[in-house]
Structure 1
Amino acid sequence: MLVVTIDRPQAMNALPPDASAEMAEVFDAFAADPAQRVAILTGAGQRAFCAGTDLRQHAEGASVGLPSSGFGGLTARTGLHKPVIAAVNGAAVGGGFELVLACDLVVAAAHAWFSLPEVRVGQIARAGGLVRLPQQIPQKVALHMALTGRRMPAQEALHLGLVNEVVPEDGDVMVAARALAHRLLEAAPLAVQATKEIASLAARGAHGDAGWGEQDALALVRAWRASGERQEGAQAFMEKRPPRWS
């Protein structure tokens, strides 16, 4: 399990470009390491998950370059079939919210909230939020957020399906995120990755109507078929024991 913590609480965990480049390297290594099967992304402190990028760079006319994998090394990343959990410990604003939208599962603290306030400061949400948000919640709700910058509290996000779990005020969002990660680690590794790949293709409109014949052409599905995970899962079920995934 990989835990990535944005550690700039004094700046509400806002990311300068060099931090995005550093995070890109971290997620590159995660993708390439077969021993790492799930990642958790969170922020330091309790105030903010991530407040996006530093607006002072825009005010000073600086050119804000990002790695090819996008803001935080994640928002434009392709081909990452391992699950990433967002542990939202506070405000997720602008690019920070877009990082949440790029994650697969979301656990949020009760005081957390989400917003895309870019239009209020003369900017446009360009790190995938305007595409992903209408895919994940009703379009008119998404437009209301994007056009006005309104804040969505954690409980509303849970109701709309944007968040998987809201941790009570007396709880710990990282404890809940680790518990969710351990549930993922109990499942067959290649089956999890192939499942994410198929679901991601369907969400993008690709292979949406594909039968299993076409899905079998996917590399991860072929690897899963050759891995023996199905046989081990069935054998463990018959023997009433936890499966031993290789």
Structure 2
Amino acid sequence: MSSTAPGYSLRQRRFAPLNPDLSAKSNAPPLKGIVFDVDGTLCEALGIDKSVDILEHIRSLPTLKDRMKAVSKVQAIEREAMLRQQPQPGLVELMDYLESRGMRRALCTRNFEAPVTHLLQTHLPKHVFLPIITRDTPDLLPKPDPAGILHIAREWGLDNRADNLIMVGDSIDDMTAGHTAGAATVLLLNDRNTHLKDHEHTDLSIERLDDLIDILENGFVGHRGGDKAPTEGREEEA
């Protein structure tokens, strides 16, 4: 099911601080939840997105048998890759912080369910993400369509699309899906996506996941289009 939605015009996105002492003094809207991509965002990129790209061509295969065989091959690629999963720096620290602030978290990924489950069970066994949107979720088009993020907003009982959410990812599809759903967007920088830092669909960029802690604690302030300034991240731990 497609959730075709008009793209939101460029606007500075702001959310009240999660620190209760500061939020009482803020007139910014409250943040109601954060949606995360998986491969390249919660875990270091393993090239799983390449297998996802293959899926886009499967629809053109002539028979159902051919399509099922191709999907099985893609799933095998992802199962092999998931055994090499490594968490992104700052992953556990960020999730512990969000849990301490009672912040809801969900996942929206184009990967199959198996590598997602493996990541959560291996690196985040005490954390809850609901709902979890994967390639296996029926009736929802994958990113860059905003359908998955809008579904999450509805599941959380929000009545203003995804206006009170943040989408965190590492690709243009993550930024576009979040933007067109109405969410603020945060780009996790890597060697391949720095050109997206100034993209009109990117509200903020970070170098490590736990860079978000100070940002959210003191109040999220995004940057519009070419007016965006780089966000300083913590230096890599030795």
TM-score (norm 1): 0.27
TM-score (norm 2): 0.27
Bigger share in helix = 1
Structure with larger RCO (C-alpha < 8 A, sep 6+): 2
Max radius of gyration: which structure? 1
